[in-house]
Amino acid sequence: MTSLHSAKIAAGLVSALGLTQIIGYGTLYYSFSILAPGMAADLGLSLAEVFGVFSVSLFIGGLSATYIGKQMDRIGAATIMTIGSALAALTLALCAWSPSVVIFAIAIILLEVSSGMVQYQAAFAALVESDPRTASRSITYLTLIGGFASTIFWPISATLTGYLSWREIYLVFAALNLFLCMPLHFWIRSLGKKAGEASIRPRETVIGAIPPHARRRAMVIVSFAFALLGFTLAAILAHMVPMLGSIGLGAAAVVIGSLFGPAQVLSRLINMVFGKNLLPPGLAVLSAVLIVFGVLILLMTGNWLPGAVAFAICLGLGSGINSIAQGSLPLYIFGSDGYGAITGKMAAARLAVGAGAPFVFAAAMENIGLSFALVANACLGAISIAAFVAVAASCRQPATATV
């Protein structure tokens, strides 16, 4: 297989996954906040109860990530993604049909399980399976494309609510997953099979930068660091716009909050162009520093408009780099063997902890005040910085091997 042909396959793979990530995150995650008021009114629930169901589903979906990761190693990430697209379509349709709160809650939980089968965790594993050597670069390209999911699906969802009910919108989303994402995932699956059958050279794997005897300790520390940083980020994001409004920024809070998405994309673009020499441990440390720095800026500047803008931009830059680090750091320190199971365990810890972040941060703001809540949040982020630095210090240069 020529390098030109390999490059074309890699570009096609990243492009296909980029489209399915936009649809996957847009239909299964970002659209929920737009459609939640309609769900609450239709089902006779309060908005808080609807988001409570969503938080429980995120927690259970996070717990399922470990099992999903093991299955990706066993039968292939693309196969899991193909099944996941079908399950996503089925559960979106179940949500649309749900005649009672119980069935709605079950459908939302299954929806988040299917999310773990089609979103970044699975897509990163598919890229590692395709070519472990170039996977880190491909992950950067993929997150750059996937970063547009909220930018595209927030306005799409809002526009559709003017013409369709939330149930009808979910049927449209089910069709996107079934008739667009599933065929693309099946194509990626067949691409991997053809490449495996046609290849005449031994398969190259990445050997991790952490020595075998230190892998368990590193796994605990990295999972802990990502979970803490995920908590810090999820807590702020869930309350960003109302929080900025409460400190006196008024209508400007929405505009400031909207800077987060473009900043995420910008960070990935900068990393793609200029960050080729920055290793994944450095990326992880940088992402945590930017997020903590953003929180501290808001804490120090309060309702000063330039400070709030800097806060949103720093948070977006850190979040964008963090998405890359979630895929590239496990590959760098643990290698490509068992990548699905490793990232599954990390995702389970991160998602399970992050699911409770909005409630904990809201309770902290109510009981100890916004300033102390931000200080506590920044302290958690600082611990994640120290954890990432500790892992970076124990890394050796990774290598490749043929099997």
- 228-245 residue pLDDT tens: 999 999 888 877 877 888
Q: Which domain holds residue 232?
A: 207-402
Do residues 169 and 238 both lie within one domain? no
The residue with greater pLDDT, 76 or 158, is 76
- pLDDT, residue 243, reads 85
DSSP-assigned beta bridge partners for residue 399: 207
Domain-terminating residue out of 150, 167, 201: 201
Residues 342/334, Cβ–Cβ less than 8 Å: yes
pLDDT at 203: 56
Q: What percent of the chain has pLDDT over 90?
A: 54
Query: Is the pLDDT higher at 230 or at 5?
Result: 230
The reply to whether 87 and 167 lie within a common domain is: yes
Collect all residues with Cβ–Cβ distance below 8 Å to 62 and sequence separation of at least 6.
116, 347, 348, 349, 350, 351, 352, 354, 355
> Which region among 6-10, 26-30, 323-327 has the lowest average model confidence (pLDDT)?
6-10
CATH number at residue 366: 1.20.1250.20
Q: Do 45 and 152 lie in a common domain?
A: yes
Tokens at residue 132, please? Answer: 């472990």
Whether 194 and 229 share a structural domain: no
pLDDT category, 193, cuts 50, 70, 90? Answer: low
Same domain membership, residue 129 and residue 87: yes
Q: What is the pLDDT of residue 259?
A: 85
| Residue 403 banded pLDDT, cuts 50, 70, 90 | very low
Residues 349 and 250 in one domain: yes
Is the predicted pLDDT of residue 200 greater than 50, yes or no? no
Give whole-number Cα distances, 222 to 45, 183, 281, 319, 329, in Å: 39, 35, 10, 16, 9
Say yes or no: 169 and 292 in one domain: no
Q: What is the residue type of 363?
A: A
**Helices 3-25/135-146 angle, 10° precision:** 40
Specify the pLDDT at position 202: 52
Domain boundary among 148, 170, 201: 201
**C-alpha span between 275 and 271 (Å, rounded):** 4
| Nearest by Cα to 362 from 354, 375, 373 | 373
Q: How confident is the model at residue 212 (pLDDT cuts 50, 70, 90)?
A: confident
Q: Which of 153, 171, 201 is the last residue of a domain?
A: 201
Output the CA torsion sign for 336, 341, 346, 347.
positive
Does 270 share its domain with 334?
Answer: yes
Give backbone dihedrals phi and psi of 372, rounded to 5 degrees, phi first: -70, -35
Position with higher pLDDT, 43 vs 253: 43
- Across the chain, mean pLDDT equals 88
**pLDDT band for position 151 (cuts 50, 70, 90):** confident
- Clarify whether residues 212 and 91 are in a common domain: no
Q: pLDDT category, 362, cuts 50, 70, 90?
A: confident
pLDDT at position 337, please? 87
Question: Is residue 219 domain-shared with residue 352, that is, in the same domain?
Answer: yes
The pLDDT assigned to 239 comes to: 79
CA gap 85, 92 in Å, rounded: 10
Q: How many domains does the chain have?
A: 2
* Mean predicted confidence (pLDDT) in 244-260: 83
Q: What is the pTM of this model?
A: 0.86
pLDDT for the residue numbered 257: 78
- In terms of Cα–Cα distance, which of 384, 354, 207, 217 is closest to 293? 384
Higher pLDDT, 239 or 309: 309
Structure tokens of 243? Answer: 């929080």
| Pair 304, 30: CB distance under 8 Å | no
Same domain, 253 and 134: no
Give the position of tokens 């605990």.
Answer: 220
Residue 6 has pLDDT above 90, yes or no: no
Q: Based on the domain organization, do 317 and 279 belong to the same domain?
A: yes
Residue 198 pLDDT exceeds 70: no
Q: Which two tokens mark 183?
A: 């065929």
Residue 136 has pLDDT above 70, yes or no: yes
Let me know: does 366 contact 246? Beta carbons within 8 Å. no
Does the pLDDT of residue 1 top 50, yes or no? no
